[in-house]
A = this chain, B = another copy of it.
Amino acid sequence: MIQNVSECIRTRRSTRLFAKKELPRELVEQVVEAGRYAPSGGNNQSTHFLVIRDRGVLDRLAKMAEEAFAAMEETPEMYKSLRNSVRASKKGGYVFHYNAPVLIVTANQKNYGNNIADCACALENMMIMANDLDLGSCWINQLRWLNEEPALVKALQELGMTEEERVYGALALGYAATEDGQPNRNPLPRTGNPVDWIG
């Protein structure tokens, strides 16, 4: 489908509706490997990938996140997307990972100044690779917002996260639930990022 690198970068969009169809491990591995090749501060290479495909674990994490958000109070200065999570959780039935068949959690050292940036580079690589493989993906921030929530920290530590690590992003991954099975590649409605040329 994808012709080249430029097209793959330009047609990457978020997928939020996933087909109930398992993903072959081989495809997931290709996505994770792309993430592992992302640069890191001082070549630190400490981004820790938790590749979760167990339905029971995914359901449990969704429930725990919903409970944590439901217990929060909305504030006026709250980040818009976080407020949406809080509201949806109070109503009930909120699933932060869109019931994707795979959730790739990126953790990193909590006392490392490049933790967010390194995880973001890995996530971006994985989103581009997913698009190249005709898979849908979406950046997931909820486990980062809750990355000091004791119950979730404990649950993630049981999955392999170390005591020195915290979550700085995640990726929902799967086949898009579209008619042709292809991920959302609608052209961006706008490209709002400003650019200034100096020289």
- Nearest chain B CB to A116 CB, angstrom units: 5
Which of B9, B79, B141 is the one whose CB lies under 8 Å from A37?
B9
A88 at the interface (CB under 8 A from B): no
Chain B nearest Cβ from A88, distance in angstroms: 14
Complex-state Cα separation, A38 to B8, whole angstroms: 11
Give the secondary structure class of A's interface: mixed
Q: Decide if B5 touches A141 in the complex (CB within 8 Å).
A: no
Question: How many interface residues does A have (CB within 8 Å)?
Answer: 71
Q: With A and B bound together, what is the CA distance between A169 and B121 in angstroms?
A: 12
Taking a contact as CB atoms closer than 8 A, the residue among B6, B48, B82 that contacts A194 in the complex is: B48
List 7 extra interface pairs beyond A10-B33, A49-B196, CB under 8 A.
A12-B37, A40-B193, A42-B80, A48-B195, A49-B195, A124-B124, A124-B125
